[in-house]
Amino acid sequence: MHIPATLVRGGTSKCWLFNQVEVPADRGDLERLLVAAYGATDPVELDGVGGATPTTSKAAVVSASPQPGVDVDYLFAQVGIGTGSVEWTSNCGNCATGVALYAVTRGMVPVTGDRTRVVMRNTNTGAVLEGIVDTTGGVVHHFGRQTVPGTRAGGVAVGLTFRDPAGGTTGVLLPTGRVAQDLRVGAAEPVRVSMVTAGAPVVLVDAASAGRTGAESLERMSADVPWLRTVRHAAAPLMGLLQPGGEPGDAVPKVGLVGPPVPYTTTLGEPIGAQDYDVSVRMLTMNAPHPAIGLTSAVAVAAAGLLEGSVVSRTTGSPTDEWLRLGTPAGVVAVRCTDVRDGLPHRVTVQRAARLLADARIYVPEAGSPRAA
């Protein structure tokens, strides 16, 4: 069998997009289709369209939204690599960037002058986002010059805003009721963390309390993956993300290190001075170091920065204001919090870029075929 799909680059991720009418509505059938299409039982995803990294093994199913005031719904899928499974519990802002451009390009949202707004709902989490797509001249663009940290390639500019991001999966910004606390991880000394839900559930580790800097290289982060997974699994039940006796997952909470700014060189060889940003951040994506930062994680870091006593505000010296500049392995990502009331940002915006890369027919092995057997 074969299914139509569109490959998009959103920010620093690649994501295959499927129209809801072309794929199964049943979640189990959809998961089996994605695993087969991506070759996701293979750790290199060679016999499929998966990219063999967490940032390039993603999918989204897009449809017109029945909700008033929302243009499109999208179901996000983090397709496992070598696991033969799919994580359905999270959202991806980079893929949402691609969904916004896709919606305009496919005529799901009419062009409105030089900027076209696309309101999207992530059906995994209920999050509502706005994408402001560059349609200068009142036309759809397939190429652009907007760049983002992590790639020198340009794309169509998309301003991505998370609406009312606090709460979401856990229902509250601070699922434990505390801005910061000590978290015991195995037999080691406790580490200082802030557990927040904004954009996504995230546990942020004060790097100094763990003998780290927050500006580790990707190689050092790779060595720390087992420890950071332990941090994630220790935080999950405290955040209400794991029921007693449940098996911990690797999608949520997101987990990473926070530290003070230091001079460093990006993965593209660009020098960054300590004065160029406000806080160092190193995150995992699933079980690998994130080459930049997931946008949902960036939202959580920015929300934590607004709170007195969080590991972020303690690093910056005081609660941050409208802008927070994050030093990531790929470069500096600026996050803007606006409409802040009682310490909660009701709009969090990141400037991104997207490009449609290909329209394709993906040939999928059916049950009983040699690979599917």
Find all residues with CB under 8 Å of 82, minimum gap 6, and list them.
40, 41, 42, 43, 44, 45
Percent of the chain with pLDDT over 70: 98
The pLDDT tens digits for 89-105 are 999 999 999 999 999 99
Q: In whole numbers, what is the pLDDT of the chain averaged over residues?
A: 95
Whether the link from the prior residue into 253 is cis, omega within 30° of 0, is: yes
How is residue 199 written in tokens? 């954009």
**Has residue 201 got a pLDDT over 60?**
yes
Kindly give the pairing relationship between strand 72-79 and strand 86-87.
Answer: antiparallel
Q: For residues 69-87, give the mean pLDDT.
A: 97
Cα gap 121→70, rounded to integer Å? 7
Sort 235 into a burial class: Cβ within 10 Å, 0-12 / 13-18 / 19+.
Answer: buried
**Has residue 373 got a pLDDT over 70?**
no
Q: Give the torsion sign (CA, 111, 146, 38, 296).
A: negative
Q: What is the DSSP string of 25-71?
A: SSHHHHHHHHHHHHTTTSTT-TTSS--SSGGGSEEEEEEE--STT--
How is residue 16 written in tokens? 């295959």
Q: For residues 31-51, give the mean pLDDT.
A: 97
The pLDDT tens digits for 163-187 are 999 988 788 999 999 999 999 998 8
Predicted local confidence at residue 168, as pLDDT = 80
**Has residue 372 got a pLDDT over 80?**
no
Predicted local confidence at residue 249, as pLDDT = 87
Buried b (16+ CB within 10 A) or exposed e, 11-45: bbbbbbbbbbeebeeeeeebbbbbbbbbbbbbeeb
Predicted local confidence at residue 79, as pLDDT = 98
**Has residue 369 got a pLDDT over 80?**
no
The pLDDT tens digits for 216-273 are 999 999 999 999 999 999 999 999 998 878 888 899 999 999 999 999 999 999 999 9
Cα gap 250→235, rounded to integer Å? 12
The pLDDT tens digits for 296-347 are 999 999 999 999 999 999 999 999 989 999 999 999 999 999 999 988 999 9
Identity of residue 169: T
What's the first-to-final CA gap in the chain, in angstroms?
Answer: 15
Cα gap 71→50, rounded to integer Å? 28
